[in-house]
DNA sequence: TATGAATGAGATTTCATTCAT
DNA sequence: TATGAATGAAATCTCATTCAT
């Protein structure tokens, strides 16, 4: 959607992302962005023919960063730590990055009120992110485990829930307890004592 | 903020809420609402001096319903059930009400990009909601318990996380596991084995 | 498409039509019109939500006038005159009204480059105009006559051809000869000496 | 107006003409054309300093083709046929070439809403076309004849009228009757029985 | 209470044209 | 010859808000 070329493209994205992180895409006009980048509206149009196209690329950047951030953090921590601690740090890392959280919610909003194409593209990246979470769990708890399905679902919910929580409240969430909660899913004696195991639905509308 | 008057006030709110649940406040014009209600823009303006005022009242209605819904559900279930099961049902009840979820996120967006007054009013209702969650926990697990703080924080995160999750994906979340996770916080042998207890911060910026 | 109401609606149409007759709809901006009427662009929008809607109503006015003009002229001339002379005057009347001719061509252009809805509405009025021509011929030469079909087709071609001719050249067309030409179609000894009679096609795409 | 140069000049014209025939010059951007030709806007600008210059050349091509088409058709038919039949075929040939008709009208529009220079150039070619029509009539009915003036005027009106007619309606016009109508002008007993002969005005504004 | 009319400010988009390389 | 980048001016449309009646 975006043209490929040198320096300005990136600068536009960077500046636009900063403004949108602060005010949301709906409240950020192309004038605002052009002014902040130091170019004319015409030039902005030359690089991004529609506002949507710009938001697309920002969405891409956002997920790139979030996904790379997870991977880098896990690699940095290595295997020296307790899996539970690693999960706690992951959750905290994502939960405390407020600028990213705001952007995350603003992009979600764009998707909710956007067109099908927007939604499609967003979902692709979202699933990629979810996949990364599952890889992290596999790395921490072994490749195959029946708890992976509920654990990754719960991890996602924690991350998203923290996003909203951190946007509304200022104090940190109980990251440690959340980590333990996920860890518990992998403990033999905890597994569904007398209950049904959580199995992700696989119908056509299922998402991963 | 809203004038007190006859019949239309409620009708306006109802219709406006329906439209905003579907499209978001930013993408809903006062024209849209007036048309749907069957009144003129002038009349709409007579009842609500600004668009913000209308969104305020919708926010009020929204939290009223969410809070009342929780209370009613807990009362309906009574004490016959396992606390864990009640929690699971609470989470499911909130997580599967998609129209409410959408509205919830749209209102959050309004707050994020709104002015201070809007934020203030929103916070009042939000804390009220949080208070209700704590009451529910107190009812389920006893009035005083050190786990209440992390448990209510986690409950909130679950609820909000599910809101987003349900908006993006179509399949249900692992409500049962979430409920157990909260339940575990109240189990003696689970409590912070060799770790620090979660304590909510109480600085001025703290929110409850 | 247009709102029904008092004075300004008509004034807008009148002024807009004058400007569009001179410059064409494509080269007439809503700003131009608003300025000429003495209202703001917002007010113009209040009365006509799109430029298309405005052009629709102008198209309506245009055909109204052209059709009424034909009827009035024929009625004025009554039966005192030679049919041929009446036809000549009709052709001249339409051919020499340059402002109307320009508008006619500008509207045709809008239809050619417009959407299906525009085309639809235009065709309705166009056929109505064609119908009026046939009524005029019926009045001049009797209700039923095999020459009606080619005669009305030819009359239309004359009128439209004159429209272009008068736009490009300044001198008058040979109205009298055209009239005779049509008249000849009704003369027994002229009818298709050894040729096929012109019959309008009646397939689904046929237009009248 | 156009620079003389290698291969692209012609390709540009060809492609541009095709697009403009379909959408009209006003609705065709230089971007559209550049993209379709497969060159950059900069390169297009190198070949045509303005959009107007491009339309000029397309106008030239258009009249070249129309004029050459008439000449070639008449030559092909030779003298074997009835003059009336030749006229009918000429009219049909022009009337049924819809792409050319569209272009013809679109170019007329450009002239109507264009500047004086555009108009000037257009008129030169238009008169050339008219001249060709007169040559055709001379060939069919003899070099000198008082009916030439009204006949050529009427021929032009027929051609232009058919252009519009064919754009609006789908069914063919009564070409044969039109041909006879012109033919009749050359018949002694038909000439202005008791009327004034049609004489083209020769004032400065007269066009041929 | 209710409304039709009006509006200003601003949003997105478009595009012919220019120019350095 | 060719082009990518840039731009200014303008066009259409949107809408919360105001106000006389």
Residue A35 in this model has a pLDDT that exceeds 60: yes
- Of the candidates D77, D65, D98, the one whose C-alpha atom is nearest the C-alpha of residue D168 is D98
- Chain C residues 18 to 57 whose Cβ lies within 7 Å of strand F are 28-32, 41-42, 45-46, 49-52
Q: Which of B74-78, B196-200, C193-197, D37-41 has the lowest mean pLDDT?
A: C193-197
**Rounded to 5 degrees, what angle do the CA atoms C164, C165, C166 make?**
90
CA–C1' distance A32–F3 (Å)? 29
Nucleotides of E under 7 A from a protein CB: 1-20
Chain D residues with CB-CB distance to C207 below 8 A: 168-171
Higher pLDDT, B61 or A5: B61
Does A8 share its domain with A99? no
Over residues A139-176, the pLDDT tens digits come to 999 888 999 999 999 999 999 999 999 999 988 899 99
Is the distance between the Cβ of A3 and the closest atom of strand F smaller than 7 Å?
yes
Q: What is the mean pLDDT of residues B19-28?
A: 96
- Per residue in A83-135, pLDDT (tens digit) is 999 999 999 999 999 999 999 999 999 999 998 989 999 999 999 999 999 99
Q: Tokens at residue C177, please?
A: 């000869």
Co-location of B82 and B138 in the same domain = yes
Q: DSSP 3-state assignment of A86?
A: helix
- Tell me: do D171 and D154 sit in the same domain: yes
Report the pLDDT averaged over residues A65-74. Answer: 96
Per-residue pLDDT for C1 more than 50? no
D chain contacts of residue C164, beta-carbon cutoff 8 Å: 108, 160-161, 163-164
Does a structural domain hold residue B149? yes
Q: Which of C136, C180, C175, C145 is nearest to C158 (CA)?
A: C175
* Residue A40 CB lies within 7 Å of the nucleic strand F: yes
Is residue C150 included in any domain, yes or no?
A: yes
Q: Render pLDDT for B48-61 as a digit per residue (tens, 0 to 9).
A: 999 999 999 999 99
Residue A26 has φ and ψ, to the nearest 5°, of -65, -35
Task: State which H helix or E strand residue A120 sits in.
Answer: helix A116-141
Nearest neighbour of B112 by CB, restricted to A102, A112, A195 = A102
Helix (H, G, I), strand (E, B) or coil at D52: helix
The number of beta carbons lying within 10 Å of the beta carbon of residue B152 is: 24
For chains C and D, count residue pairs whose Cβ atoms are closer than 8 Å: 150
Per the model's pLDDT, the better-predicted residue between D94 and B6 turns out to be D94
CATH of the domain at A44: 1.10.10
Mean pLDDT of B23-52: 96
Residues with Cβ within 8 Å of D80's Cβ and at least 6 positions away in sequence, in order, are none
Tokens of A22: 């602060």
pLDDT at C202: 46
- Cα–Cα separations (whole angstroms), residue B208 to A15, B133, B138, B150: 35, 12, 16, 12
Kindly tell me if the per-residue pLDDT of A204 is higher than 90.
Answer: no
CB distance B112–A126 less than 8 Å? no
| Number of separate domains in chain D | 2
Residue C5 has pLDDT above 70, yes or no: no
Q: Looking at chain A, which subunits does it touch, using at least 3 CB pairs closer than 8 Å as the criterion?
A: B
A205 pLDDT exceeds 60?
Answer: no
Per-residue pLDDT band at B193 (split at 50, 70, 90) = low
> Do D99 and D21 share a structural domain?
no
Which nucleotide has its C1' atom closest to residue A9's CA? F5
**Inside any domain, residue D197:** no
| Boundaries of domain holding D10 | 1-49
Query: Which of C160-164, D112-116, D194-198 comes out lowest in average pLDDT?
Result: D194-198
* Interface contacts (A, B; CB < 8 Å): 152
For residue D143, what pLDDT is reported? 86
Of B149, B170, B190, the CB nearest to A206: B170
Task: Judge if A73 and A170 occupy the same domain.
Answer: yes
Report how far apart the first and last C-alpha atoms of chain B are (Å, whole number). Answer: 25
Name which of D82, D19, D22, D15 is nearest D47 in CA terms.
D15
The answer as to whether B168 is a domain residue is yes
Q: Do D171 and C203 touch (CB under 8 A)?
A: yes
Indicate the burial class of A206 (C-beta count within 10 angstroms; 0-12, 13-18, 19 or more). exposed
Phi/psi of residue B199, each to 5°?
-125, 130
Residue C186 lies inside a defined structural domain of this protein:
yes
**Long-range contacts: B122-125, Cβ < 8 Å, 24+?**
B122/B59, B123/A168, B123/B207, B125/B59, B125/B60, B125/B63
Q: Which nucleotide lies at the shortest CA–C1' distance from B42?
A: E3
> What is the b/e burial string over C179-204, where b = at least 16 CB atoms within 10 angstroms of the residue's CB?
bbbbbbbbeeebeeeeeeebebeeee
Helices (H) and strands (E) in chain A, counts: 9, 0
Q: Angle at CA B189, nearest 5°, toward B183 and B191? A: 65
D111 and D175 within one domain: yes
The pLDDT of residue A119 is 92
Last residue of a domain, one of A49, A70, A85: A49
Per-residue pLDDT of C70-113, as tens digits, reads 999 999 987 778 999 999 999 999 999 999 999 999 999 999 99
Does residue A117 sit in the same domain as residue A155? yes
**Binning pLDDT at 50, 70 and 90, where does residue B203 land?**
very low
Mean pLDDT of chain C: 88
- Asked whether residue D181 falls in the same domain as residue D119, the answer is yes
Alpha helices in C38-185, H assignment, sequence order: 41-47, 51-77, 83-96, 98-112, 116-141, 148-168, 175-184
Q: Which of A75-89, A184-198, D170-184 has the lowest mean pLDDT?
A: A184-198
Where does the pLDDT of residue B189 fall: very low under 50, low under 70, confident under 90, or very high at 90 and above? low
Mean pLDDT score across all residues of chain A = 88
Q: Is residue C204 part of a domain?
A: no
- Distance, Å, C46 CA → E13 C1': 22
Percent of chain D residues topping a pLDDT of 70 = 87
Which chain B residue lies closest to A25 (C-alpha atoms)?
A: B113
**Closest nt to B43 (CA→C1')?**
E2
Point out the nucleotide closest to C43 (alpha carbon to C1′): E6
The pLDDT value given to residue A196: 57
Q: Distance from D8 to chain C by nearest Cα, in Å?
A: 28
> What length is written for chain A?
208
Give the closest residue to C131 by CA, choosing from C46, C71, C53, C201.
Answer: C71
B50 beta carbon < 7 A from strand F? yes
Whether residue A62 sits in one domain with residue A128: yes
Q: What integer pLDDT is reported at residue C135 of this predicted model?
A: 94
D177/C185 Cβ within 8 A: yes
Please give the pLDDT value at position A203. Answer: 43
Of C23, C157, C180, nearest to D161 by CB-CB distance is C157
Residue with tokens 């908006």: B167
Q: How far is the CA of B195 from the C1' of E10 (A)?
A: 56
Q: How confident is the model at residue B142 (pLDDT cuts 50, 70, 90)?
A: confident
Query: For residue D205, is pLDDT > 80?
Result: no
Q: Three-state SS across chain D?
A: CCCCCCCHHHHHHHHHHHHHHHHCCCCCCHHHHHHHHCCCHHHHHHHCCCHHHHHHHHHHHHHHHHHHHHHHHHHHHCCCCCHHHHHHHHHHHHHCCHHHHHHHHHHHHHHHCCCHHHHHHHHHHHHHHHHHHHHHHHHHHCCCCCCHHHHHHHHHHHHHHHHHHHHHCCCCCCHHHHHHHHHHHCCHHHCCCCCCCCCCCCCCCCCC
Average pLDDT over residues D113-119: 89
Minimal CA–CA distance to A108: which of C33, C66, B163, D109?
A: B163
CA distances from residue D144 to D138, D147, D202 in whole angstroms, order as listed = 7, 9, 18
C67 CA: distance to closest CA in chain D (Å): 17
* C20-44: pLDDT as tens digits: 999 999 999 999 999 999 999 999 9
Query: Do both B68 and B147 map to the same domain?
Result: yes
Residue A4 sits in the same domain as residue A96: no
Give domain status of residue B5, yes or no: yes
The model's pLDDT over D31-83, given as tens digits with 9 standing for 90+, comes to 999 999 999 999 999 999 999 999 999 999 999 999 999 999 999 987 778 99
Candidates B51, B19, B47; CA nearest to B33 is B19
pLDDT in the model for residue C6: 53
Residue D118 has pLDDT above 70, yes or no: yes
Residue A78, pLDDT score: 79
pLDDT (average), residues C167-195:
81
- At D193, is the pLDDT very low, low, confident or very high (cuts 50, 70, 90)? low
Quote the pLDDT of residue B68. Answer: 96
Query: Other CB atoms closer than 10 Å to residue C14's CB: what's the count?
Result: 13
Where residue C96 sits, what CATH number does that domain have?
Answer: 1.10.357
Residue A206 lies in a domain: no
B128 with B61, same domain: the answer is: yes
**How far, in Å, are C92, C101, C104, D168 from residue C163 at the CA level?**
10, 5, 8, 15
Q: What is the pLDDT of residue A207?
A: 27
pLDDT given for residue B3 in this prediction: 43
């Amino acid at each position: 959607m975006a043209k490929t070329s040198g320096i300005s493209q990136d600068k536009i994205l960077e500046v636009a992302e900063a403004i949108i992180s602060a005010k949301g895409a709906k409240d950020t006009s192309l004038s605002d962005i052009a002014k902040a980048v130091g170019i004319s509206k015409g030039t902005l149009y030359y690089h991004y023919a529609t506002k949507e196209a710009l938001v697309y690329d920002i969405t891409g950047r956002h997920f790139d960063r979030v996904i790379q951030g997870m991977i880098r953090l896990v690699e940095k921590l290595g295997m020296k730590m307790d899996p539970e601690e690693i999960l706690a740090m992951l959750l905290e890392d994502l939960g405390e990055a407020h600028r990213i959280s705001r952007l995350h919610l603003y992009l979600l909003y764009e998707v909710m009120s956007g067109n099908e194409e927007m939604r499609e593209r967003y979902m692709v990246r979202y699933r990629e992110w979810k996949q990364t979470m599952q890889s992290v769990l596999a790395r921490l708890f072994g490749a195959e485990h029946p708890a992976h399905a509920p654990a990754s679902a719960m991890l996602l919910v924690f991350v998203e829930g923290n996003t909203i929580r951190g946007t509304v409240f200022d104090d940190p969430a109980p990251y440690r307890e959340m980590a333990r909660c996920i860890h518990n899913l992998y403990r033999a004696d905890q597994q569904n004592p007398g209950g049904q195991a959580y199995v992700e639905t696989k119908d056509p509308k299922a998402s991963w």
